[in-house]
Structure 1
Amino acid sequence: MKITRIINNNVVCAVNERRQEMMLLGSGIGFQKKKGDDVDTEKIEKEFFLKSKNVTGKLYALLAQIPMEYIRVSDSIIQYAKQSLDKELNENIYLTLTDHINFAVSRYKQGMNFNNALLSEIKAFYANEYRVALKALDMINQEFNITLPEDEAGFIALHIVNAELGSEMEDTMKITQLIQKVLNIIRYQFKIHFNESSLHYSRLITHLKFFAYRLFNNTVMKSNDNDFLHIIKEKYKLEYQCSLRIAQLIRVDYGKELTEDELVYLTVHIKRVTDEERD
């Protein structure tokens, strides 16, 4: 393998025999090396293949400024998340999570801790991602011999959700806030308390996550099954009225309109979860 770029003493870019570009991590792998030199393969600790040139370029710029321990622990967290959640993650997480960990550790050392205003919602709506994030917090604390607060697990969970949905942090924050608003409408109209461990509640949260993602990414759900739409509207009138209230909220707060399809599928999920809570 030939070195194509030196990022720092511990990170280099190289091409293999198949002309594939990769990023290599290893203590001293770039020390006293130059473009065109052979890679000392005995020093390779980790290899990265990233498809996005945009992500790769930004990651190179970040790694030029920080120790390799940050990308190393970030990669350990990402691999653990993929295995635990059994999901593929957008490779942009290598950039965003590494940058966040660097920022979080820096803030901690300066005695600056940020409160996570959405921590309760994150625990409720992204329970699996939050469990992974708690493990990630342990990894970070052990690597850097620090004690980051639980709020950081919430931020890490959002980065994982971003990577699952392929969205930006701003959108994920808006998605989380919208889910809470929708649940409040349902809770108020039907005067119920949700059983957060129930299957129908879990299905509702999953539906709302993708519902909100479609909303903020201007993706329209269209089924063309007019008979089904009519049956649901007539059969579940109270639940459909609740969906109309949610549509009004979205119109006022976000300036967006819901399609009939979105309203009807939302109605079905409301029906299921409210029936369960009333039983």
Structure 2
Amino acid sequence: MIVHKILNNNVIVTLDDSNNELIIMGRGIGFKKKEGDTIDQSQIEKQFSLSNKEILPKFTELLSEIPLEVVSASEIIINHAKSLLGGKLQDSIYISLTDHIHFAIERHKQGLNIANNFLWEIKKFYPQEFKMGKYALDVIKDRLHVELPEDEAGFITFHMINAQLNDTMPNIVTMTKIMREMLNIVKYHFKFEYDEDSLTYQRFVTHLKFFAHRMLSHHTIVSTDISLYEMVKEKYHASYRCTKRIDLHLIQQYSHALTDDESLYLTIHIERLRKELENLATSTKL
């Protein structure tokens, strides 16, 4: 391996056999090196080859500014997330999460901890991702000796969701807000409390998550069999009225009107939830 660029004493860039850039990290690996020098293989601690070439320049710039320990901790968290969440994470997570952890640590040292106003929703809507956020705090505490508040686990959760959906952070926040509003409309329309441990509730939350994501991505489902829509509208009239309240709210707040398909699926989910809670209330009284 030959040095192609030197970012700092701990980070250099080389080229692979296909002439693609590889980022090499190691304590002192770039010290007193210049372009064209041979890399000491024994000093290599980390090696990155990102598939998304558009973010590679940003990542190399980030690595030149952030301590090696923070990058290593971030990589441990990302690798565990890939295993725990069971899906592909966008390469952008290497930039967003590493940068966030570094900035959060700097803020914490200055006593500037930021409250996460969506922490309750994050715990309820994204339990697996939040578990990952809590794991991240443990890694940061063990490896970087900084104990960040639980609010930061919530912010890290957002980065995990963002990397899964390939969406922007403001959209993830708005998506969570939409989910909370829709859940509240259903809750107060029927005047019941959710059983948050039930499979039906969890399915409903999952449906809302993907609905909100489609809505903010301007992707709508349009394929309804009109006869099925009319049948559901008539058969589940109480749940359909609740769906229309949601529709009005989305029009007023987000200029988004539900399509017949969206109304159909939302009504079915609401009806399933309503029936389950109704049956639970009846059995409790017996």
| Kept after mapping to 2: 8 A contact 1:116/1:155 | yes
Deviation for aligned residue 1:17: 2.5
Pair 1:217-2:192 in alignment: no
Q: Deviation per CA, 1:19-51, whole angstroms, max 9, x where unpaired?
A: 332211111122222223232221111111212
| Kept after mapping to 1: 8 A contact 2:179/2:209 | yes
| Kept after mapping to 1: 8 A contact 2:70/2:144 | no
Determine the C-alpha separation between the residues in 2 that align with 1:195 and 1:39: 59
| Kept after mapping to 1: 8 A contact 2:224/2:260 | no
Determine the C-alpha separation between the residues in 2 that align with 1:7 and 1:276: 59
Give the SS at the match of 1:133.
helix
Give the SS at the match of 1:31.
coil
Deviation for aligned residue 1:64: 1.3
Pair 1:242-2:242 in alignment: yes
Give the SS at the match of 2:13.
strand
Deviation for aligned residue 1:223: 2.3
Determine the C-alpha separation between the residues in 2 that align with 1:271 and 1:226: 19
Deviation for aligned residue 1:56: 1.4
Determine the C-alpha separation between the residues in 1 that align with 2:178 and 2:192: 19
Pair 1:207-2:207 in alignment: yes
Instruction: Report 1:1-279 matches (<5 A).
Output: 1-279=1-279
Determine the C-alpha separation between the residues in 2 that align with 1:42 and 1:272: 60
- Kindly provide the amino acid, as one letter, of the partner of residue 125 in structure 2: F
Q: Deviation per CA, 1:241-274, whole angstroms, max 9, x where unpaired?
A: 1111111111111122221111111111111122
Give the SS at the match of 1:269.
helix
| Greater Cα offset, 98-107 or 255-264 | 255-264
Query: Which structure has the bigger radius of gyration?
Result: 2
| Kept after mapping to 2: 8 A contact 1:93/1:159 | yes
Deviation for aligned residue 1:278: 1.5
| Kept after mapping to 2: 8 A contact 1:25/1:44 | yes
Deviation for aligned residue 1:211: 0.5
Determine the C-alpha separation between the residues in 2 that align with 1:276 and 1:159: 34
Determine the C-alpha separation between the residues in 1 that align with 2:20 and 2:48: 11
Instruction: Please identify runs of 4+ aligned residues in structure 1 that moved more than 3 A.
Output: none
- Kindly provide the amino acid, as one letter, of the partner of residue 2 in structure 2: K
Q: What TM-score, normalized to structure 1?
A: 0.96
Deviation for aligned residue 1:4: 2.0
Determine the C-alpha separation between the residues in 2 that align with 1:49 and 1:70: 18
Determine the C-alpha separation between the residues in 2 that align with 1:266 and 1:38: 61
Determine the C-alpha separation between the residues in 2 that align with 1:150 and 1:212: 26
- CA pair 13-227 structure 1, distance change in 2 beyond 3 A: farther
Deviation for aligned residue 1:142: 1.6
Give the SS at the match of 1:136.
helix
| Kept after mapping to 2: 8 A contact 1:2/1:16 | no
| Kept after mapping to 2: 8 A contact 1:221/1:262 | yes
The root-mean-square deviation of aligned C-alpha atoms, in Å, is: 1.3
